[in-house]
Amino acid sequence: MSASTLRAAGMVTLVVAALLGSAYALGRSLVPDHPDRDTGVAASIHTPHYGDQPPSTEFPGPPGGGYGGPSPDASPSASDDARQPDDSEGPYGARTSTGSTRIALTFDDGPDPQWTPQVLALLKEYGVKATFCVVGENAESHPDLVRSIVADGHTLCNHSWNHDITLGKRSPVTIRDDLLRTNDAIRAAAPDARIAYFRQPGGAWTYPVVSVCEDLGMTPLHWAVDPTDWQVPGAAKITQTVLAETRPGSIVLMHDAGGDRSGTVEALQSLLPELMHRFQLEALPTGTT
């Protein structure tokens, strides 16, 4: 092969190498090293809550350390009373605070003929108003208990028709039908009651479920304190967690259905007077929120 042919081949090789290097550099500049992946699902501020349903692989249960916040073993200090109310937003803007220094107790998954009357009796004994997140099929089965909740001055919240944790991943039409069906069951029992809130089962919030509930005039309602009473840890643990983690403005999650709630009922007997000593308690308002 002649010297001129070798030189020409060398030039071609250099040009090709330069072009390939430019293409590689350009390609890397167009693709971020760590692209953001937004699945559109937020199960809770930290991890999802499951109520009476077992964890799934899509929405794993809380880690051993729980949901964060102060340790349940921590005792309240004198400075706690001076803390500002918790006005943080939950996933997708769901409400976690009362917006004031008052706190709100919320009860999910009912009504239940065994546990709801006991919870109502304790609330009445201490003059405390709360918010009940009602499951549609339970409201249809126990309309008398829905009427009792309303008659006692408590606030109602839509908690879906049958506690479907994956509701937020369904189509907007399906979500809307579910929420409307639940509202219809509640209103069949208490026609004049206002349903101002919706709480997504499991705290598995998504953009579609928040959008639909707001379109129907309901505020998405999350929580700030979860004593995991749905895991039946016992009255002492429930009490300890609520007292350790509740701050001015906290929305506290508990349950009046979905399993054995004897621990919750027992815990309320000591929680109610102690919370009343530390805070003012309120039912979440039914007006514009």
Residues annotated as catalytic are 108, 255
Task: Respond yes or no on whether the N-terminal peptide bond of residue 113 is cis (omega within 30° of 0).
Answer: no
Minimal CA–CA distance to 134: which of 262, 255, 272, 1? 255
What does the CA dihedral 63, 109, 253, 97 come to, rounded to 10 degrees? 120
Contact 250, 221 (CB under 8 A): no
What does the CA dihedral 205, 199, 222, 70 come to, rounded to 10 degrees? -100
Minimal CA–CA distance to 110: which of 185, 194, 43? 185
Polymer length of the chain: 289
Torsions phi, psi for 155 (to 5 deg): -90, 145
| DSSP states along 58-94 | SS----TTTT-SS-TTPPPPGGGGGSPP---B-GGG-
Residue at 91: amino acid letter? P
Contact 41, 209 (CB under 8 A): no
CB atoms within 10 A of CB 231: 16
Secondary structure percentages of the chain, helix, strand, coil, to 5: 45, 10, 45
Task: Work out whether strand 104-108 and strand 251-255 pair parallel, antiparallel, or are unpaired.
Answer: parallel
DSSP 55: P
Residue at 189: amino acid letter? A
